[in-house]
Amino acid sequence: MESQSEMTKPLIILGAGGHAKVVLSVALELGIDVKCLTDNDKKKHGEKVLGIEVLGDDRILRAFGPDKFELAMGLGVGSDNTQLTQQLLRRFKVFTKLFSHGYKFPPLIHPNAGVAQGCIIGNGVQLFSGSVVQPNCKIGDLTILNTKASIDHDSVIGKACHIAPGVTCGGSVDVGSNTHIGMGATILPNIKIGTNSIIAAASLVNKSVKIGEKVCGTPARVVME
């Protein structure tokens, strides 16, 4: 894992919405030199977010090569439950394309986040204020651990997941890639959650969730579409 102190290149943040604002705030807290933000919404071009300008859309990256700049994913997940996994996948496709072109996505770890010994933190992972990762956990590329979310020991969180604010995952939990776990949800120890799943906010998950399932409630049950 690349530590923040090893980052020597300026940072460009992709996106200029609410999530990008939090990502930018973390970068500024860490003392990182943020060059600009990008956004495909032309109405945002020329605006400033926390004092940093939105210069244009992603095409400006052609002028800022991977040898001089690193990137952070600021595209949000959204709040439409029917689109959450699609948004996560869209973010990951952008990440994969740019990563293949040589751009690095360093992990961004808020100073108030905690990462214990023996953890593996992937490329582009974002750990926001108050989040905790306990010993021997693995967090996959581009996953978000949002405000005050906690992952207990020996857990594996796949790629491109969103662990929303206030989520609590017990020890030895296995979460598949491209999964959204909603605000305040609780995942009991030793639970396995399949890829492309959605756990609704405030749910209590006490049994494993299959691939692509959406569950909600206390205890959580499958939502029939």
Confidence at residue 4, expressed as pLDDT on a 0 to 100 scale: 44
First to last CA, the chain: 40
Confidence at residue 116, expressed as pLDDT on a 0 to 100 scale: 98
3-class state of residue 120 by DSSP: strand
pTM as predicted: 0.94
Confidence at residue 123, expressed as pLDDT on a 0 to 100 scale: 98
* Longest CA–CA separation in the chain, Å: 51
Confidence at residue 2, expressed as pLDDT on a 0 to 100 scale: 41
- Each residue's pLDDT expressed in tens, for the chain with a length of 225 residues: 444 445 679 999 999 999 999 999 999 999 999 999 999 999 999 999 999 999 999 889 988 999 999 999 999 987 666 689 999 999 999 999 999 999 999 999 999 999 999 999 999 999 999 999 999 999 999 999 999 999 999 999 999 999 999 999 999 999 999 999 999 999 999 999 999 999 999 999 999 999 999 999 999 999 976
Contact 119, 136 (CB under 8 A): yes
Confidence at residue 168, expressed as pLDDT on a 0 to 100 scale: 98
Confidence at residue 225, expressed as pLDDT on a 0 to 100 scale: 61
Confidence at residue 78, expressed as pLDDT on a 0 to 100 scale: 77
Residue type, 98: L
> pLDDT of 1-19, one tens digit each?
444 445 679 999 999 999 9
Confidence at residue 82, expressed as pLDDT on a 0 to 100 scale: 64
Cα–Cα distance measured from residue 8 to residue 35, given in angstroms and rounded to the nearest whole number: 13
Neighbouring-strand partners of residue 115: 133
3-class state of residue 61 by DSSP: helix
Confidence at residue 81, expressed as pLDDT on a 0 to 100 scale: 67
Spell out the residues 6+ positions from residue 97 whose beta carbon is closer than 8 angstroms to its own: none
Q: How far is CA 10 from CA 7, 98, 105, 133, in A?
A: 8, 16, 12, 27
- The string of DSSP codes covering 77-109 is --S-TTTHHHHHHHHHHHHHHHHHTT-----EE
